[in-house]
Amino acid sequence: MIEIKQEMTLGKLSLTYRVLFTGFLLVIGLGLCMAGAQIMLTHGMADGKPGLSMNDIVYSYYGNRSGSKLESALNGKMKAKANDDVKFTMIQWVRDDAPEAQWEKVGPLFEQNCGNCHDAESGLPEVTKFEVAKSLAEIDHGASIASLTRVSHIHLFGISFIFLFIGWIFGMAEFNQTWKLILISTPFAFLVLDVASWWLTKFWPIFAWVTMIGGFGYSLAATVMFVTSLAQMWLTRWTQK
């Protein structure tokens, strides 16, 4: 006789595995919320206004080519780091081609307003040094090829593992098979689309809308799998008691 192996479902898992999977999902869910907050505080302030917009994405990857990198930062995500008089002095120095003769006057402003974050240990540009500050006087071309390469491979490697485990847990849910396959595969497809859109926007700002779609697509699919998995592990058992 052919033995038919019954597929394990979330509702039939032991307490040990329900606790394990729940802990993973809750921590990953919190991590994704923190990632969203980080995006809002960095890319979401690229145009100087709260909330993620098309301009934020364009400025982050293509750049704000109407001014320098320093000017874009001071009018965008670093807007709250210095008062208007200090920002005016810094921007004017940049517009004057960042003369070294004025560094004695401008340097202390960088030290007082930027030095706390932009130090040697932070990994951020050490703008308190003249050579680094002068390099920020160049036109803002957005993310560099080197930084895009670094961030792309980190996202593709790291986030794909998150979707692997979320999909693996959701794979044990009692769900329409066709929609289950669609939901499991959607985050991977939209992750690739999201990363590809960064590169497209770097050269053609019109593709910024693709970034919005990519992030929304895999977030929605992951949320459905997340909520469904938790519900079937715990709510199903409560209703059966």
3-state secondary structure the chain: CCCCCCCCCHHHCCHHHHHHHHHHHHHHHHHHHHHHHHHHHCHHHCCCCCCCCHHHHHHHHCCCCCCEHHHHHHHCCCHHHCCHHHHHHHHHHHHCCCCHHHHHHHHHHHHHHHCCCCCCCCCCCCCCCHHHHHHCCCECCCCCHHHHHHHHHHHHHHHHHHHHHHHHHHCCCCCCHHHHHHHHHHHHHHHHHHHHHHHHHHHCHHHHHHHHHHHHHHHHHHHHHHHHHHHHHHHHHHHHC
127 and 235 in a single domain? The answer is: no
Cα distances (Å, whole numbers) of residue 115 to 42, 197, 208: 18, 33, 32
Comparing 7 with 40, which gets the higher pLDDT? 40
Please give the share of the chain, as a percent, with pLDDT higher than 70.
89
Using one digit for the tens of pLDDT, what is the confidence trace for 18-37? 999 999 999 999 998 898 88
157 & 231 share domain: yes
pLDDT at 3: 43
Claim to verify: residue 79 and residue 168 sit in the same structural domain: no
**CB 50 within 8 Å of CB 79:** no
Do 157 and 201 lie in one domain? The reply is: yes
pLDDT at 231 over 80: yes
pLDDT at 121 over 90: no
pLDDT band at 46; cut points 50, 70, 90: low
Single-letter residue type at 113: N
Contacts of 20 (CB under 8 A, 6+ apart): none
In a domain, 56, yes or no: no
Q: Can you tell me which residue has the tokens 């032991």? A: 14
**Residue 237: predicted pLDDT:** 54
pLDDT in tens, 204-219: 989 988 988 888 888 8
- Do residues 187 and 218 make contact, with C-beta atoms less than 8 angstroms apart? yes
Specify if 2 maps to a domain: no
Same domain, 235 and 152: yes
Structure token pair of residue 231: 């519900």
pLDDT of residue 241: 44
Q: Which of 79, 111, 135 is the last residue of a domain?
A: 135
| Cα–Cα distance, 70 to 90 (Å, whole number) | 8
54 occurs within a structural domain? no
- Tell me what pLDDT residue 5 has: 46
Full residue range of the structural domain in which residue 77 is found: 65-135
pLDDT at 167: 94
Q: Would you say 218 and 186 are in contact if contact means Cβ atoms under 8 Å apart?
A: yes
Amino acid at 18: R
The answer to the question of residue 73 being in a domain is: yes
Same domain, 116 and 233: no
pLDDT of residue 224: 93
Give the pLDDT score at 2. Answer: 42
Q: Are residues 160 and 201 located together in one domain of the fold?
A: yes
If you average pLDDT over residues 51-59, what whole number do you get? 80
Mean of pLDDT over the chain: 83
Which region, left, alpha or beta, applies to residue 142 given φ > 0 means left and ψ of -120 to 50 means alpha? left
Question: Looking at the domain assignment, is residue 4 inside a domain?
Answer: no
Q: What is the mean pLDDT of residues 72-86?
A: 76
Least confident range from 4-13, 36-45, 106-115: namely 4-13
110 by Cβ neighbours in 10 Å (0-12 / 13-18 / 19+) ranks as: buried
Q: Of the residues 109, 135, 161, which one is the last residue of a structural domain?
A: 135
Which of 125-129, 155-159, 193-197, 224-228 has the lowest average pLDDT?
125-129
- Domain edge (last residue) among 108, 135, 162: 135
What's the average model confidence in pLDDT over 49-77?
A: 76
- 150-204 confidence digits (pLDDT tens): 999 999 999 999 999 999 999 999 989 999 999 999 999 999 999 999 999 999 9
What's residue 168's pLDDT?
94
Domain presence at residue 130: yes
Per the structure, how many domains does the chain have? 2
Residues 45 and 79: beta-carbon distance below 8 Å: yes
